[in-house]
Amino acid sequence: MTDKVLGVILGGGQGSRLAPLTQTRSKPAVPIAGKYRLVDIPISNCLNSGIHRMFVLTQFNSASLNKHIKNTYHFSHFSSAFVDILAAEQTPDNPTWFQGTADAVRQTMHHLLNHEFEYVLILSGDQLYQMDFKDMVQAHIDSGVQISIATIPVNAKDAPDFGILKSDEQNIITSFIEKPKSNLEDWVSDTGHEMQAEGRNYLASMGIYIFNKDLLIKIFAENAEEKDFGKEIIPRMLTEHKVLSYQYEGYWTDIGNISSFFEANLGLTDEIPKFNLFDSHHSIFTRARMLPPSKILGTTLDKTIIAEGCILQAKSIKHAVIGIRARIGVGTEIESCYIMGSDKYQTLIEIEKEKGEKPLIGIGDNCKIVNAIIDKNSRIGDNVQIIGGSHLTDGDHALYTVKDGIVVVKKGAIIPNGTVIS
């Protein structure tokens, strides 16, 4: 069944809502949980579901993503499995870059058609969830439809941020509205007793679609002006075809901005996190790095995830995610932070040479950092205070950005000794 499915992962646009994390990388390449990239989530879901052929579509800042895919997803020469990048390319037929989600698939369709498949599974590259697509594919086949949409129950507070739909007793979608701002009571659905008990009475589109190949080819041939699945193609298809709603009830979050990204990462430190990194049936795959175990000296730890290869001498680390090769100095206090770590270690020669000239890669001594994201390869000096919170005004600065009270230190930034951001 899943051998007839081709996965297409949408890399998204410029990712401005995740800036400055997307200043030098595409959204799917943003580091998550200390050791993964966002793109590892949909790829891992596909691999765990038996879908082993995938394309990742991207056009902005794709170098980092290309490198990650190339270094991570290697398959046997005797297997048909692959994960390939398809970057936007100008051709005589398509002189423009991707203009939307549907346009991205349309422009790369000639690459997809080089492979044998019956169904296309279209996924987003910036969502956090663990889903078995086998069940969705089987439901799609059993129902006899040509289009299926994964849906998730949401509450009244979240409903205006999504495309909301209603379905009949056979789960065939009967109506759809994009981001409703009023008359929400008209869009209440029977989501099941458990979901209703949680106040999740509205069915939201997850931006996950299954199309029969022949129909997708027909859609692209007939309506070249339609650029987006959610805003144009799906609403039109509802009037012309039966479209299945496949209801998913597990954890799912759309990582569209800094606040949701921050909450999703720190949520991993919960005693029983909603997104379970320790589930052997839903493993998250990423690049295999030959790193030493982390070393911790005199640090008090609480609600903290620590990736490989770290050297931690901090006074305390609480409610934090510490990424690969992170170095944190003596006496430093970290609370409610995502420290992404570093791409390399400095040699003893480099450390000796740079000592006194600029801070070393990592976080120095006697710092206090609260409510912050420290992007990779940053150099934070000694006695630095970075205190995020609602008291800070949103704004973009040379070395850092403030969004929703979260201080985001930019990739490779150098924060001098004694700096105060509070």
CATH of the domain at 6: 3.90.550.10
Q: Residue 118 sits in which domain range?
A: 2-267
Evaluate whether residue 136 is within a structural domain: yes
Instruction: Map tokens 């499995």 to a residue.
Output: 81
Q: Supply the pLDDT for residue 80.
A: 87
Q: Supply the pLDDT for residue 264.
A: 96
pLDDT-flagged residues of the chain (< 50): none
- Are 248 and 322 found together in one domain? no
Evaluate whether residue 109 is within a structural domain: yes
Which amino acid makes up residue 355?
A: K
Q: Which of 30, 110, 103 is nearest to 62 (CA)?
A: 30
- Are 254 and 358 found together in one domain? no
- Are 73 and 222 found together in one domain? yes
Distance from chain centroid for Cα 225 = 28
CATH number at residue 402: 2.160.10.10
E-state strands within 223-294 = 243-247, 252-254
Q: Supply the pLDDT for residue 206.
A: 94
Q: Supply the pLDDT for residue 408.
A: 98
Task: Annotate 233-247 with b (16+ C-beta within 10 A) or e (fewer).
Answer: bbbebbeeebbbbbb
Q: Supply the pLDDT for residue 91.
A: 57
Q: Supply the pLDDT for residue 293.
A: 97
- Are 97 and 242 found together in one domain? yes
Q: Supply the pLDDT for residue 93.
A: 61
- Are 324 and 371 found together in one domain? yes
- Let me know the angle formed at the C-alpha of 323 by 322 and 328, rounded to the nearest 5 degrees: 60
Burial class (CB in 10 A: 0-12, 13-18, 19+), 408: buried
- Are 106 and 23 found together in one domain? yes
- Are 356 and 222 found together in one domain? no
Domains held by the chain: number: 2
Q: Supply the pLDDT for residue 125.
A: 87
- Are 308 and 224 found together in one domain? no
Biggest CA–CA distance in the chain, Å, is 70
Q: Supply the pLDDT for residue 332.
A: 98
DSSP state of 94: -
Q: Supply the pLDDT for residue 240.
A: 87
Main-chain phi, psi angles of 58, to 5 degrees? -150, 160
Evaluate whether residue 258 is within a structural domain: yes
**Distance between CA 99 and CA 101 in Å, rounded?**
7
Q: Which of 148, 198, 185, 155 is nearest to 170 (CA)?
A: 148
Evaluate whether residue 47 is within a structural domain: yes
- Are 379 and 308 found together in one domain? yes
- Are 257 and 148 found together in one domain? yes
Distance from chain centroid for Cα 231 = 21
Evaluate whether residue 67 is within a structural domain: yes
- Are 297 and 240 found together in one domain? no
pTM score of the predicted model: 0.93
Q: Supply the pLDDT for residue 381.
A: 97
Evaluate whether residue 275 is within a structural domain: no
CB 418 within 8 A of CB 400: no
Evaluate whether residue 276 is within a structural domain: no
Q: Supply the pLDDT for residue 365.
A: 97
Evaluate whether residue 285 is within a structural domain: no
DSSP state of 33: T
- Are 112 and 71 found together in one domain? yes
Cis peptide before 20 (omega within 30 of 0): yes
Q: Supply the pLDDT for residue 371.
A: 98
